[in-house]
């Protein structure tokens, strides 16, 4: 029988490539001498838990952005590290973890500043004014947090839709008055945490009427008459909200915006007040 021939085993090109370190293109020197203020990832959807005044906690899904500053000498940042930091906190992000996320972004990406933006739908159960029927209303809430060295800046934003009825239209019309849906946006900084529900109550109580997801006929009558008895311009709306925020002991800064989607004009009405 012919003798067997032994063939020496050598590594394939693929296995050699696996053991060789991959070139880090992002860490190349950039010669344009321009620092980038914010670079990172945006549009991440992730489950979050936020505090609920009525039920202790509410589960929702947030659209998240994570950013850091980039020194002028580096060509790029490492995008995967942002997602690594987010997922390191488990399958659900708690609002209380935002400070930890900011610090870990600074450490993992060797950054002086870090930013987290988190926008999510927030739900409240509401009772119709006449029938007592309950339904869920959705609102938009947002957290914007920034860490600069050891300092943390946090801004809470809440948006609510309301009804506004035009005082001028009511004053000059023999029958009725035009009304419209208005969107109110409130941004606040605070000394102690403020409930999202409390900001919503401030906005809704400052309008001609609040909105509901479910209205029976008797409710529609009640809401229509309430708005007619309480006309407000867009200017009145932001002033009403601002007065209530001025009286809040924990609010240190605010910005109030209102935009009415006009029903008889081909444009919207807008007003804004900011407390510096």
Is residue 106 domain-resident? yes
How many domains does the structure of the chain reveal? 2
Helix (H, G, I), strand (E, B), or coil: what is residue 248? Answer: coil
Q: Give yes or no for a contact between 209 and 151, defined as CB atoms under 8 angstroms apart.
A: no
**Are 46 and 156 found together in one domain?**
no
- What's residue 30's pLDDT? 67
d(CA 51, CA 191): 17
User: Quick check: is 197 in a domain?
Assistant: yes
Considering 73, 92, 119, which residue would you say is the last residue of a domain?
Answer: 119
Could you report the per-residue pLDDT of 35-67, keeping only the tens digit for each? 899 999 999 999 999 999 988 899 999 999 999
What does the alpha-carbon distance between residue 68 and residue 105 come to, in Å, rounded to a whole number? 7
DSSP character at residue 96: G
- Is 179 in the same domain as 61? no
pLDDT higher than 80, residue 68: yes
CB 232 within 8 A of CB 207: yes
- pLDDT at position 264: 92
3-state helix, strand, coil in the chain (%, to 5): 25, 40, 35
Kindly state the tokens that stand for 263.
């029903």
Residues 148 and 38 grouped into a single domain: no
Identify whether 57 is part of a domain.
Answer: yes
Contact between 85 and 100 (Cβ < 8 Å): no
Do 84 and 166 fall within a single domain? no
User: Do 110 and 139 sit in the same domain of this protein?
Assistant: no
Are 99 and 138 within one domain?
no
Q: Measure the N-to-C terminal CA separation of the chain; round to a whole number of Å.
A: 96
Residues 165 and 241 in one domain: yes
With beta carbons less than 8 A apart as the criterion, state whether 47 and 31 touch.
no
pLDDT for 7 equals 46
Whether residue 51 is found in the same domain as residue 186: no
pLDDT confidence bin for 8, thresholds 50/70/90: low
Q: Which domain holds residue 37?
A: 28-119
Residue 15 confidence (pLDDT) above 80: no
Do 195 and 146 fall within a single domain?
Answer: yes
Do 167 and 251 fall within a single domain?
yes
Beta strands in the chain (DSSP E): 36-52, 56-70, 93-94, 113-127, 134-148, 151-165, 179-190, 209-210, 251-261, 269-275
Q: How far apart are CA 61 and CA 10, in angstroms?
A: 51
Same domain, 193 and 256: yes
Tell me the three state secondary structure of residue 174.
Answer: coil
What is the distance, to the nearest Å, from the Cα of residue 261 to the centroid of all Cα atoms in its chain?
22
Separation of alpha carbons 146 and 236, rounded Å: 33
Mean pLDDT of 242-263: 97
Whole-number mean pLDDT of the chain? 90
pLDDT bracket for residue 23 (50, 70, 90): low
Do 174 and 261 sit in the same domain of this protein?
yes
Phi, psi of 56 (to 5 degrees): 75, -50
Mean pLDDT calculated for residue range 159-176: 96
């Amino acid at each position: 029988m012919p003798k067997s021939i032994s063939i020496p085993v050598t590594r394939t090109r693929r296995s050699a490539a696996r053991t060789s370190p991959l070139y880090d293109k992002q860490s190349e020197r950039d010669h344009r001498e321009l620092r980038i203020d914010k670079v990172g990832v945006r549009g991440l959807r992730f489950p979050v838990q936020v505090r609920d005044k009525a039920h202790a906690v509410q589960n929702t899904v947030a659209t998240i952005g994570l950013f850091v500053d980039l020194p002028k000498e580096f060509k790029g940042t490492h995008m995967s590290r942002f997602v690594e930091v987010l997922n390191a906190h488990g399958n659900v992000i708690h609002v209380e973890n935002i400070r930890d996320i900011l610090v870990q972004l600074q450490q993992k990406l060797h950054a002086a500043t870090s930013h987290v933006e988190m926008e999510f739908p927030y739900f409240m159960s509401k009772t119709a004014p006449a029938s007592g029927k309950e339904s869920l209303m959705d609102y938009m809430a947002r957290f914007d947090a920034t860490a600069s060295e050891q300092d943390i800046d946090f801004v809470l934003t809440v948006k609510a839709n309301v009804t506004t009825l035009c005082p001028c239209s009511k004053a000059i019309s023999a029958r009725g008055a035009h009304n419209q849906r208005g969107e109110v946006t409130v941004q606040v900084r605070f000394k102690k945490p403020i409930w999202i529900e409390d900001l919503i109550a401030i906005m809704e109580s400052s309008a001609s009427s609040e909105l509901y997801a479910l209205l029976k006929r008797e409710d529609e009558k009640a809401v229509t008459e309430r708005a007619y008895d309480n006309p407000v311009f867009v200017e009145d709306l932001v002033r009403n909200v601002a007065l209530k925020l001025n009286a809040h002991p924990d609010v240190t800064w605010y910005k109030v915006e209102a935009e009415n989607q006009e029903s008889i004009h081909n444009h919207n009405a807008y007003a804004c007040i900011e407390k510096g």
